[in-house]
């Protein structure tokens, strides 16, 4: 029985390590969208076109473009709730990247569904 428990712990450890967050850049994602599709990523960049919105159902959400200042590559970031992100702020975003995301009958290309957003300063 003890051996079975150890095997299960090992298998669960492998499963969680396979789903680890990949630290990358917006430019790397832009260059190889297929590689990062449906992968949890951690990226840093400059927030632009920040929009705090509310859905028709009354759910608040935040949208902004995350730009790599060195290459001008960009990705759209979506987050549930109104986030404390301001225009031109430097942020670190952790979330799931989608080359194409289908949500509520809409199609969203090149988007990170944010898990967390933090100031990089």
> What is d(CA 99, CA 34) in angstroms, rounded to the nearest whole number?
7
> What is d(CA 37, CA 110) in angstroms, rounded to the nearest whole number?
9
> What is d(CA 29, CA 13) in angstroms, rounded to the nearest whole number?
27
Give the CB-side neighbour count of residue 65, counting CA atoms within 13 A. 11
Which of the four pLDDT bands, split at 50, 70 and 90, describes residue 58?
very high
> What is d(CA 52, CA 28) in angstroms, rounded to the nearest whole number?
27
- Provide the pLDDT for residue 82: 97
Question: Phi/psi class of residue 104: alpha, beta or left (left: φ > 0; alpha: ψ in -120 to 50)?
Answer: left
Regarding beta strands 60-67 and 74-80, do their DSSP bridges make them parallel or antiparallel, or are they unpaired? antiparallel
Kindly state the tokens that stand for 64.
Answer: 């902004």
- Provide the pLDDT for residue 10: 47
CATH class, 21-119 region: mainly beta
Prediction pTM value? 0.82
Which of the four pLDDT bands, split at 50, 70 and 90, describes residue 4?
very low
Contact 110, 99 (CB under 8 A): yes
- Provide the pLDDT for residue 27: 97
Given a cut of 90, whether residue 6 has pLDDT beyond it is no
């Amino acid at each position: 029985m003890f051996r079975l428990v150890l095997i299960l712990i090992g298998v669960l450890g492998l499963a969680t390590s396979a789903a680890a967050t990949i630290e990358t850049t917006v430019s790397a994602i832009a260059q190889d969208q297929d590689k990062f599709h449906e992968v949890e990523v951690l990226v840093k960049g400059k927030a632009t076109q920040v929009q705090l919105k509310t859905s028709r159902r009354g759910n608040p959400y935040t949208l902004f473009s995350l730009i790599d200042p060195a290459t001008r590559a960009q990705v759209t970031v979506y987050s549930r709730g109104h986030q404390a992100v301001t225009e031109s702020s430097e942020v670190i975003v952790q979330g799931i990247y989608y080359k194409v995301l289908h949500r509520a009958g809409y199609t969203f290309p090149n988007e990170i569904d944010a898990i967390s957003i933090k100031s990089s300063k």
